[in-house]
Amino acid sequence: MEKQIHIEPVTRVEGHGKITVFLDDAGDVRDAQFHVTELRGFEKFCEGRTVWEMPGLTARICGICPVSHILASAKAGDAILSVRVPESGILLRRLMNLGQMVQSHALSFFYLSAPDLLLGWDADPATRNVVGLVTANPDLARKGIRLRAYGQQIIDRLGGKRIHPAWAVPGGVNQALSKEDHAWILAGLPEAMETIRETLDLFKSAFVSEEARGVLSDFDSMYMGLVAPDGSWEHYDGLLRIVDREGNNVVAGHDPSRYFDIIHEASQPWSYLKFPFYAPMGFGTEGMYRVGPLGRVNVCERFGTPKADEELEAFRALTTGRSGKVFDYHYTRLLEILASLERIEKLLADERILSPRVRAEAGINELEGVGIHEAPRGTLIHHYKVDQNGIIEKANFIVSTGHNNLGMNRAVQEIAKMYIQKGNITEGILNRIEGGIRAYDPCLSCSVHAVGQMPLDVRIVDAEGETVKTLTRG
């Protein structure tokens, strides 16, 4: 008799989702699906609003990633205004995106995932959270909290507030960086750098073995992210690159404004989250690619900063070709915090960042615009079509969690097959399945433009489609 296992709700991710595991007659895993069960429809109700409103409006999609949507939206607006953003405006946007990278990655690692890593996959769910982490390692918790606060403060000082800052606008940004804030950000760098250095050393002391890194599955896929023209790590601009598992370029450098040449989206009846795929290879396993920290690290040739490049060399030495391990999302997240801090230092050393000329003004000069940059969780695309007055006629958002939808489903399938045999299910196994999702750091609020936290349901269904077991958490 076939059975289904449902994990619902998934905890410590943003939004609502559930997992269904289908068992065959022998109680082994036949298939597994990660469902996103919410719908908000931001794309639809943005229609009729002006392009100038879009950064502030789309920021409300999420309380974790507002900066990412503001920047992608402002860039789409730049294209519609057909303006060249002043250099200082670009530097400031880059600075804010790096602050976002630091705070979001710190949240993911220290608050959401470190409890799994430091307390163990089989720890009691009642203690396997940030409170348990604090109890087990208060010094690490304090440093992680301070690191996230540092990233948030960068956003706060640039945008006036840390959540939903109405700061980046089509044509640039609406406020220059003060010398006082410049000095504050600079002064905070040494401590932040020390924290990530210590964390990376701690992480590497425990989690570089094949066994530790393989716990959340290892499978082939392509990887996508922006790269600079010289092939180095990029987060704000550049070209779209796709590589295969061996690290060979599938797409060396595609114009991001024509993303639709290579990325198409599919739907499935069991999830509100769309499934983007690499169009030339078709929907499914062949066309699956992954984005985010692992994607960016796998597509770039180098970080372009000394400390991060040294760490990248050590990371690459662990793998032939490119890593397919889901667990390595954690590792590469830490590498990206280090790289972001080094980039912040470089930006602050550029005196143009203090220029008061931060915005170009213009009217509607194009009726279509695409804005792409790298959000912490992966490539974020805003695509608008407007009328002569700049009123949105059509909006399309492809967010990182969508890009990773096929990858997350594959991870759930692989982990379920690794740990569920003959219908035997324990809490530790559920933790690992959930951990596989959490490693991607999905933001379901963004991906379906839904609100709230994401609890997890696990449901087991037999061959006749009857639920025989449900585990609910959240």
Q: Which stretch binds another protein (CB under 8 A): 21-29, 134-142, 295-303, 396-404?
A: 134-142
- Interaction residues for another protein, span 221-250 (CB under 8 A): none
The mark string for 157-176 relative to another protein (x by CB under 8 A, - otherwise) is: ------x-------------
Decide if residue 453 touches another protein (CB under 8 A).
yes
Q: Closer to another protein at the Cβ: 109 or 275?
A: 109
Q: Which of 11, 88, 100, 271 binds another protein (CB under 8 A)?
A: 11
Q: Which stretch binds another protein (CB under 8 A): 135-143, 314-322, 351-359, 396-404?
A: 135-143
Decide if residue 146 touches another protein (CB under 8 A).
yes
Cα–Cα dist 125/384, whole Å: 43
Decide if residue 431 touches another protein (CB under 8 A).
no
Decide if residue 138 touches another protein (CB under 8 A).
yes
User: Within 13 Å of residue 76, how many CA atoms lie on the same side as its CB?
Assistant: 32
Q: Which of 4, 73, 152, 271 binds another protein (CB under 8 A)?
A: 152
Smallest separation (angstroms) from another protein to the CB of 125? 9
Q: Which stretch binds another protein (CB under 8 A): 144-152, 311-319, 345-353, 373-381?
A: 144-152
Smallest separation (angstroms) from another protein to the CB of 295? 24
The mark string for 88-127 relative to another protein (x by CB under 8 A, - otherwise) is: -------------------x---xx-------------xx
Q: Closer to another protein at the Cβ: 148 or 274?
A: 148
Decide if residue 12 touches another protein (CB under 8 A).
yes
Query: Residues in contact with another protein, total (CB under 8 A)?
Result: 26
How far from 167 is each of 52, 89, 173, 469, CA to CA, in Å? Answer: 12, 11, 6, 49
Nearest to 158 by CA among 101, 103, 96: 96
Q: Closer to another protein at the Cβ: 146 or 204?
A: 146
Smallest separation (angstroms) from another protein to the CB of 469? 24
Q: Closer to another protein at the Cβ: 44 or 84?
A: 44
89, 359 contact by CB (below 8 A): yes
Q: Which of 27, 52, 53, 134 binds another protein (CB under 8 A)?
A: 134
Q: Which stretch binds another protein (CB under 8 A): 138-146, 295-303, 310-318, 387-395?
A: 138-146
Secondary structure of the chain as H, E, C letters: CCEEEEEEEEEEEECCEEEEEEECCCCCEEEEEEEECCCCCHHHHCCCCECCCHHHHHHCCCCCCHHHHHHHHHHHHHHHHCCCCCHHHHHHHHHHHHHHHHHHHHHHHHHHHHHHHHHCCCCCCCCCCHHHHHHHCHHHHHHHHHHHHHHHHHHHHHHCCCCCCCCEECCEECCCCCHHHHHHHHHHHHHHHHHHHHHHHHHHHHCCCHHHHCCCCECCCEEEEEECCCCEECCCCCEEEEECCCCCEEEEEECHHHHHHCEEEEEECCEEEEEEEEHHHCCCCCCCEECCHHHHHHHCCECCCHHHHHHHHHHHCCCCCCCCECCHHHHHHHHHHHHHHHHHHHHHCCHHHHCCCCECCCCCCCCEEEEEEEECCEEEEEEEEECCCCEEEEEEEECHHHHCHHHHHHHHHHHHHHHCECCECCHHHHHHHHHHHHHCCCEHHHHCCCCCCEEEEEEEEECCCCEEEEEEEC
Q: Which stretch binds another protein (CB under 8 A): 139-147, 170-178, 207-215, 322-330?
A: 139-147
β 454-462/467-473 pair status? antiparallel
Q: Which of 149, 189, 208, 281 binds another protein (CB under 8 A)?
A: 149
Number of Cβ within a 10 Å radius of residue 39: 11
Q: Closer to another protein at the Cβ: 125 or 247?
A: 125
Decide if residue 154 touches another protein (CB under 8 A).
no
Decide if residue 130 touches another protein (CB under 8 A).
yes
Q: Which of 24, 28, 31, 63 binds another protein (CB under 8 A)?
A: 63
Q: Closer to another protein at the Cβ: 100 or 257?
A: 100
Decide if residue 142 touches another protein (CB under 8 A).
yes
Q: Which of 82, 135, 178, 209 binds another protein (CB under 8 A)?
A: 135
Smallest separation (angstroms) from another protein to the CB of 111? 4
Residues found near another protein in the complex (CB under 8 A): 11-12, 63, 107, 111-112, 126-127, 129-132, 134-135, 138-139, 141-142, 145-146, 148-149, 152, 163, 453, 474
